[in-house]
Amino acid sequence: MRVSVIVPSFNRPDLIVRTVRGLIVQSLPLDEYEVLVVDDHSDPPVTDAFFGHRLPRSVKIIRSDENRGRAAARNMGIQAATGRVVVMLDDDMEVVPEFLEAHLRIHDAREKAVVLGKIAAAPELGRAPFLRYLDSRGPEKIPRGEAIPAKYFVTGNVSVPRSALEKVGGFDEGFSLYGGEDTELGMRLGKAGYVFLYAPDALAHHLHIVGIDRLCERLSAYGRNGLPGMVERHPELKALLSLDILDPPRWGSEPLGSSLRRWFFQASLRPGVFRAARVLTRATPLGRALYPVYDYLRAYAYMTGYRDAAGERGGE
């Protein structure tokens, strides 16, 4: 096999059907890739019956005997994979027919490449400001042709040489809650010498997108539960994720602008400011002018979660 596609899934019967249906009508010949659906103990279990017909032999369903989280589910897929390249995809993505060929095109040209595909809101979801904002984030912010920072490694749509995953040891299964397991793996891949490249033609349409309120809830939990361990293992992430802005201003021992920036940002991390920004996002006619507000809301969520966790650890 040239490619193994790993799709972990938990209790999303309608979405996993659309994901797999897109994967079995690729421009790449079906005998050159396999699709490994890792059922993380869904109820009811994922079976051929979900799809209304018997799946091709290249599609395999692997079931976990308990719900262990995305990191463990993806590791199960990696262990079963036979392809030279491993594509990781979330179970709420619907890919275009050229998806796998777009991933492979870069791997065939670059030996030590990690490829980030494009994730865009499904057309059926419309073009609300928040959806357009999400479509503009991540690798879309980096000029075409430039290497992507490892912090943008997210497993909603990414491909990695299987040898690289074996070399760095796969996902850390200590990340059982939302977020962090992909960024942490990305940091290890970067340290192992792999270059992160963007493939906008490897397009996956995101079928299920939570709103800004739910996203902030997830990011707050991620800041509290995932970020502290990540920063402990990879101290450079503190600066890469701008968490150093939470350090106290060093008046007189750093440039005045740096101290003022810390002071001002920390002053903005207040519930009242957050609530005011949240109200502002309902002003949909503002369009792209809302993007900095969304940036602030996301930063507030994960930074206050991280700050609170650090305070709790300091008080122990």
Confidence bin at 314 (pLDDT 50/70/90)? low
Q: Which of 172, 206, 240 is the last residue of a domain?
A: 206
- Look-up: residue for tokens 């990305």? 186
Distance (Å, whole) CA 298 – CA 120: 18
Confidence bin at 179 (pLDDT 50/70/90)? confident
Q: Are 155 and 219 members of one domain? A: no
Q: How many domains does the chain have?
A: 2
Distance (Å, whole) CA 39 – CA 65: 9
Q: Are 89 and 198 members of one domain? A: yes
Q: Are 186 and 288 members of one domain? A: no
Of 88, 28, 17, 84, which Cα lies nearest the Cα of 55?
17
Say if CB 240 and CB 149 are below 8 A apart.
yes
Model confidence pLDDT, tens digit, residues 51-104: 877 788 899 999 999 999 999 999 999 999 999 999 999 999 999 999 999 999
Distance (Å, whole) CA 253 – CA 71: 42
Say if CB 8 and CB 36 are below 8 A apart.
no
Q: What is the pTM of this model?
A: 0.92
Q: Are 216 and 157 members of one domain? A: no
Say if CB 122 and CB 84 are below 8 A apart.
no
Q: Which of 206, 238, 268 is the last residue of a domain?
A: 206
45 is in which domain, residue-wise? 3-206
Distance (Å, whole) CA 170 – CA 168: 6
> Residue 49's pLDDT is what?
82
Of 77, 66, 56, which Cα lies nearest the Cα of 8?
77
Q: Are 140 and 175 members of one domain? A: yes
Distance (Å, whole) CA 153 – CA 134: 15
Which residues in the chain belong to E strands, given as ranges?
3-9, 33-39, 59-63, 85-89, 93-95, 113-121, 157-161, 195-206
pLDDT of residue 315 exceeding 60, the answer is no
Distance (Å, whole) CA 130 – CA 224: 24
Distance (Å, whole) CA 316 – CA 305: 17
Q: Are 217 and 309 members of one domain? A: yes
